[in-house]
Structure 1
Amino acid sequence: MVVKLDSPQPDISLPGGDIPDEDEDRPTTALRFTVGPLGLSEIVFGAAALSTIYNKDEHISSFTPVRTVRLALRYGVNAFDTSAYYGESEIVLGTALKALEPDFPRSSYKLVRTTQPRFPRLSDTTSFTLLSTRLDDQMRPLRHPRADFDYSPATLRASVQRSLKRLNTTYLDAVYLHDTEFVATQVGPHEDGHPTDALKPENLEKYGLADGQESKVWGEGDQLILDGLAELQKMKDEGIVKAIGITGYPLPTLLRLALLVLHTAPYKPLDVLLSYSQLTLQNSAFADFAPHLLERARVGQLLTASPLNMGLLTPTPPKWHPAPTELKDAVKKVAEACSGWDGGLVNVAVGYGYRKAAELDVPMVAGLSYPREVHESMHAWRDLKGSQEKRIAQEDKAFEIFDGYLGWSWASPPDNLL
């Protein structure tokens, strides 16, 4: 859980002695390219895994986190996504990066983090483990009402200042306002369905996306987001934050907010925007929204996360997942159809997410706990650079099984938190 801003901080340090450096600590290939104006590597290290949310105390207090971080850096991963939401993640990551400073100075990597609301909750937006399902069952979101989110200037600044200390740095490369749909004024239908419906010409006005609606502040929630971004802009002007943006799940809401920021003086286009679980084998709506976010809303950098759709696209989806029974049944059939594929459904789903992200020039956030997971992720990335005919044929079989649930998303926030 999140440590409150005014509470004592956990004391986490490395064990005594030299950091082990063995065969498993050496890369077998390299990420050679960066993506977009922020210069992020195609894979971004999701540091939520560096916490007791996902691992035991003995893991956090061992050399494993620093070896995992070092191996990722050696592979060419140059960006880390973390947050105060993720337990001890900021402290563990900051400790590891400090220990690795002689070989990897601050200028060699980027730190991306999300802001903290008034009360802690477990974030489900930016961390997953590739080629593994063990973390997905721990990603159940602990939702709080909108009133629990505090985007006030004082809270945002205090949260950023604490992160600077935890991460042993004088600046952050990007900071998001987190889960903005929990604060934004609700515009348009609040229901499960296909988010791309909002992009149909006859529906634009209903979702607040029509020409002439871009600068409309629909209510108090929208103003809170504008005020929060104004404080982040001040920190950007001061040099302690390099880029600012928003995260969330519902794509129509993210597009509306991005347009609002662009068309409201004195605000500037968002530097960065992240959504999750919407560039997946079951739902790739993010690909449809990307051109609108980049061209119409002029967002500088898009990111995506969770190609396993919070564990839905595994042989055993978590019981808490918001997908309806019919979709979970379809996933079981897709898993059976992928049973002859090396790595099964998980490999097919991760491969699809990586390939689609690469086609869009969008980095993918990957949660990593162990060196072996770094190797697995990099090998998956490398394998997708070759011929994909057989893989695409396997994906097509999955699309047929999903049928009407292809491109479907759940409503967020849940009805009981509106």
Structure 2
Amino acid sequence: MKVIQTALDHGDITTMPPLVLGGATINTQYNDDPAKLPLVEMLTYGFEHGVRAIDTSPYYGPSEVLYGNALEHIRDEFPRDSYFLCTKVGRIQLDEFDYSRKHVRFSVHRSCERLKTDYLDLVYLHDVEFVTMAKSIEALKELKLLKSQGIIKNFGLSGYPVDYLVYLTKHCALNEPEIGPLDAVLTYCNMNLQNTRLLEHWPKWKDDAHLKLINNGSILSMSLLRSQETKSFHPCSQELRRLATQAAEYSARNGVLLADLATRYALAKWIDKGSTVLGVSSVEELQVALENYWFVKDNGGQLNRQDSQLIEYIQDKIFGSHMNEVWQSGIEHPELN
């Protein structure tokens, strides 16, 4: 298989590879025993093929520790300067958050220890919609300070509700001189076969907030867009679950797995706009993701005719009025009113 060519510059987040290995699947939400995942083999295969970036979080259970151990195992072949490391701060448990400046600093240093590094390429505030805007502002000030001290190279935020992410990033760029423009944003479930809301904000959001990078995560919408049963924790409506099952059956009748179709669609729509975080749990799943990437890349970043026809039918006839349906995430933010 071909190799994605990357020229990493740890001071320039825009050189992040187009594909990133995600850490959410290295967790008990997706795998009963994450320690049994072949992480060394996954990293080796990914790095050999140009997927030289990792995105994780302390919230993802043992993910940071397991990644750190695996990276230590392959450090002779892949030294620290040959890949990007991205993690997050602020979210501790499902309903537990700590955005205090003290915890932000503690969490960053702990992540460095776990990932066996003396710097991090990118640190996001994790799921900002769950805390007040004032708390996010304080946490971002600490991340900016950590950046000035060289402990992190870039900083930003992550979350689900696009409208609030747009508002907060623009506010920082225009009204918070102690913070200024953020370097990057990661949003999830907002650029996929069922939800294209991220495209509606592109590129105005990036320009208005002076962002260097907007990254797209969960292109299978947290397990919704695949033939297997959607994970029980998924917060979408029962009707959307039913329609996703219908989409998977329709895709299969036409000889295509819904996960492959959804992957190619998301990559085609975002391939020239930012990086895409992949949630995989095996070398085989990573191989398939890379095959789908090259399928799109070699077609000029476009979908072929069959994929386009299948997608049009699924979006128009199956999802229909449920296209771009979202679910509640986080608290009320009066600033938006």
**TM-score higher than 0.5 here?**
yes
Distance in 1, matches of 2:233 and 2:65, equals 29
How big is each residue's C-alpha offset from its partner over 1:352-385, in whole Å with a ceiling of 9 and x where there is no partner?
11111114x2211112322222211111111112
Q: Which amino acid aligns with 2:45?
A: L
Query: 1:321, CA displacement in angstroms?
Result: 3.0
Rounded to whole Å, the distance in 2 between the matches of 1:152 and 1:80 is: 25
- The alpha carbon displacement at 1:32 in A equals 2.2
Separation in structure 1 between the aligned mates of residue 26 and residue 125 of structure 2, nearest angstrom = 21
Moved more, 234-243 or 308-317: 308-317
- Secondary structure of the corresponding residue to residue 269 of structure 1: coil
Structure with greater Cα Rg: 1
Pairwise CA distance, 1:34: 6.8
Q: Is the 8 A contact 1:52 1:60 kept in 2?
A: no
User: SS of the counterpart of 2:70?
Assistant: helix
**Aligned partner of 1:261 among 131, 156, 172:** 172
User: What is the aligned partner in structure 2 of residue 106 from structure 1?
Assistant: 80
For 2:207 and 2:32, the matched residues in 1 are separated by: 44
Q: Identity of paired residues, percent?
A: 30
Letter in structure 1 aligned against 2:202: A
> Alpha carbons of 1:48 and 1:313: their partners in 2 closer, same or farther (altered >3 Å)?
closer
CA-based RMSD of the aligned residues comes to 2.1
Counting only pairs closer than 5 Å after superposition, residues 7-406 of structure 1 correspond to structure 2 as 28-33=1-6, 37-57=13-33, 60=35, 64-117=38-91, 120-121=92-93, 142=94, 144=95, 148-183=96-131, 221-263=132-174, 264-315=176-227, 316-359=229-272, 361-387=273-299, 388-401=304-317, 402-406=319-323
Deviations 1:89-141 (A, max 9, x none): 11111111122111111111010001033xx32xxxxxxxxxxxxxxxxxxxx
Is this contact kept in 1: 2:263–2:289, CA < 8 A?
Answer: no
Matched letter for residue 66 of structure 2: V
Specify the SS of the correspondent of 1:384. helix
- Give me the whole-angstrom Cα distance separating, in 1, the residues matched to 2:7 and 2:264: 19
Report the more deviating stretch, 259-268 or 233-242. Answer: 259-268
Greater relative contact order structure (CA < 8 Å, 6+ sep): 1
Q: TM-score, normalised by structure 1?
A: 0.72
Deviation per CA, 1:39-68, whole angstroms, max 9, x where unpaired? Answer: 1111100123334554455x6267x21111
- For 2:60 and 2:124, locate their aligned partners in 1 and report how far apart those are by CA, in whole Å: 15
- Whether the 8 Å contact between 1:399 and 1:406 is mirrored in structure 2 is yes
Q: How many residues align?
A: 322
Task: Give the 3-state SS of the residue equivalent to 2:216 in structure 1.
Answer: strand
CA–CA distance in 1 between the matches of 2:35 and 2:146? 31
Aligned-partner residue type, residue 306 of structure 2: K
Q: Which runs of 5+ in 2 are unaligned?
A: 333-337
Tell me how far apart the structure 2 counterparts of residues 161 and 349 of structure 1 sit (CA, whole Å).
Answer: 37
Structure 1: any 5+ residue segments left out of the alignment?
A: 1-27, 122-141, 184-220
> 2 CA distance for matches of 1:398 and 1:290?
23
